[in-house]
């Protein structure tokens, strides 16, 4: 196991909760600016990025569908001049809410050659050559990517130009998706070399598959580490007891739980304020005991139940 106190180098900041006015994370709305204008959210993103960098975080994860997150990040990188920040982004969802909080549809998914070409060009316009990892957003076993050879070849062109390729997963069949994606080869080698999956105290079902991917040489990123804020805002009683024993918030314990997984290369936090980020960072000072780990392991839910509950979270 990697010592928790040295784990800040493994943390990354995800911009899903900062690049657009509405998202599903609970505990987010109360800490955001009263008026979530584009300028207000740009300033908040800059502030949180500054705090993350000052605390040693050197990975930032974004996506085309995160509203203006790529633009906010690009502006920050140009203003600050940081050359030691790794950047990952994603394609596949288009943001269509037009900066509205209340709207019927916030994003539309499409895994096609046309969507890839359009969004890769948009990402390059914003971030230039700063993209270290480009990911298929929310790959599932039903994605047309698995049978679309033209799409695979288009992705391979990005890979062959020197950009690492990966994919994110969602849903109760994350493991099956990882297994199928592992088998895709273009030009005599694997198309992908990274995966970003949901793993948290409530939803650890992808553990074996992520461990195998890591052992096989893939970079493993972990998202939704706080179960979209639920482990911080409405934690199980046992999680609260563990947090009380360590004198930290339940968010720190949940993150420390992820950091104890040796296959987790980049552990993403989704803080929407500096205060949330600082609370998250307490995870780096926590050393979970065997007793703690045993208690946390009992909180795991059936994957289908977990993802059903997540699907009910409202955009706000």
Q: How is the chain split into domains, by residue range?
A: 7-312
What Rg, from alpha-carbon coordinates, does the chain have?
Answer: 18
pLDDT of residue 6: 58
pLDDT of residue 4: 41
pLDDT of residue 1: 37
CATH tag for 7-312 (out of 3.30.230.10, 2.40.40.20, 3.10.560.10, 3.20.20.100): 3.20.20.100
Neighbours of 164 (CB within 10 A): 18
pLDDT of residue 2: 42
For the entire predicted model, the pTM comes to 0.97
pLDDT of residue 185: 98
pLDDT of residue 173: 98
pLDDT of residue 42: 98
Q: What is the pLDDT along the chain (316 residues), one digit of tens a residue?
A: 344 435 899 999 999 999 999 999 999 999 999 999 999 999 999 999 999 999 999 999 999 999 999 999 999 999 999 999 999 999 999 999 999 999 999 999 999 999 999 999 999 999 999 999 999 999 999 999 999 999 999 999 999 999 999 999 999 999 999 999 999 999 999 999 999 999 999 999 999 999 999 999 999 999 999 999 999 999 999 999 999 999 999 999 999 999 999 999 999 999 999 999 999 999 999 999 999 999 999 999 999 999 999 999 999 9
């Amino acid at each position: 196991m990697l010592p928790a106190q040295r784990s800040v180098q493994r943390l990354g900041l995800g911009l899903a909760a900062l690049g657009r006015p509405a998202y599903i994370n609970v505990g987010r709305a109360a800490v955001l600016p009263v008026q979530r204008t584009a300028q207000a959210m740009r300033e908040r993103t800059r502030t949180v990025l500054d705090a993350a960098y000052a605390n040693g975080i050197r990975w930032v994860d974004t996506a085309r569908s995160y509203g203006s997150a790529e633009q906010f990040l690009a502006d920050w990188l140009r203003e600050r001049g940081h050359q030691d920040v790794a950047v990952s982004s994603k394609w596949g969802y288009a943001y269509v809410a037009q900066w509205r909080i209340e709207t019927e549809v916030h994003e539309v998914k499409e895994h096609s050659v046309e969507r890839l070409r359009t969004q890769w060009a948009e990402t390059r316009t914003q971030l230039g050559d700063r993209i270290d990892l480009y990911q298929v957003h929310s790959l599932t076993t039903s994605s047309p990517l698995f049978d679309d050879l033209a799409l695979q070849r288009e992705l391979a062109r990005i890979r062959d130009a020197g950009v690492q390729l990966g994919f994110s997963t969602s849903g109760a069949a994350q493991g099956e998706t990882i297994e199928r994606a592992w088998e895709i080869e273009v030009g005599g080698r694997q198309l992908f070399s990274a995966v970003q999956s949901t793993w948290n105290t409530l939803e650890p079902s992808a553990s074996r598959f992520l461990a195998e991917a890591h052992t096989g040489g893939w970079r493993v990123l972990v998202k939704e580490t706080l179960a979209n804020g639920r482990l911080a805002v409405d934690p199980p009683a046992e999680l609260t007891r563990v947090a009380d024993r360590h004198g930290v918030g339940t968010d720190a314990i949940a993150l420390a739980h992820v950091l104890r997984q040796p296959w987790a290369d980049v552990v993403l936090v989704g803080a929407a304020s500096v205060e949330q980020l600082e609370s998250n960072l307490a995870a780096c000072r926590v050393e979970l005991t065997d007793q703690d780990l045993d208690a946390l392991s009992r909180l795991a839910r059936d994957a289908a139940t977990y993802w059903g509950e997540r699907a009910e979270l409202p955009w706000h």
